Amino acid sequence: MPEKQTIERAREDKREGKAPTTQAGEFVREEMHHIREGKHGARSPQQAIAIGLSKARRAGVDLPPPRGGRVPEKTRKSAERAYEEGQGLRQAKHRPRVAKAVKGVLKREGRKAASPDALSRQARSAAGRRTHGERSAAAKRAARTKGPAERSAAARKAARTRAESR
C-alpha cells in the first residue's frame, strides 16, 4: 500500500498537468526509499521501478500497460490487471498482498539496486534507447508544465551539464 504522502504528490502532479509517467515516478521514488531504508531489497533497478509502476497503476495513475511484444506476456497481463483495478474497471478479489515467501526473498535481495550509481546507469541506458527527437520532445513537454522558477533552475542545470561534458 503506498504512503498517503506519495499519493498526494502524484495527485498534485496530475493537477499541474504533468504526464502519467511523472505521476508514477512518485511511486518509483517511494520504492527506492523503501529499499534504502532496508524494508526490502531488489535484484536490479528495473525490478524496483517495476514494483513502483505496479503500485502507481493500482493507485489509479492513468498509465496504460505496455503494448504486446515489448515485454513478456506475463508482465503485460499483470500490468493490465493493476491498471484495470486502479481505473475501477475490475474489482480485486482480495486486497493486494505480497506473499510471505516473496517478502522473504525481497528482504534477502541487495540494496545496491537503489544506489545513485545504479540509478544513473539505468537512466543513461534508458535514454540511450530513445532517439534524439524523442528525448527532445519529452524535454519540451516537461518544460510546458514548469513554472518560471522551475524553468530557470532547469536551464541552469542544463547549462552546467553541457559545461561538464566539454
Domain identity same for 92 and 150: no
Grid cell in block for residue 86? 486502479
Q: What is the pLDDT tens value at each position of the chain, 166 positions in all?
A: 899 999 999 999 999 999 999 999 999 999 999 999 999 999 999 999 999 999 999 999 999 999 989 899 999 999 999 999 999 999 888 877 778 898 899 999 999 999 999 999 999 999 999 999 999 999 898 888 888 999 999 999 999 999 997 7
Domain identity same for 160 and 107: no
Domain identity same for 101 and 152: no
Q: Is 60 left (phi over 0), alpha (psi -120 to 50) or beta?
A: left
Domain identity same for 38 and 106: yes
pLDDT at 41: 95
Domain extent for 147: 132-166
SS3 42: coil
E-strand ranges in 29-101 read none
Domain identity same for 122 and 157: no
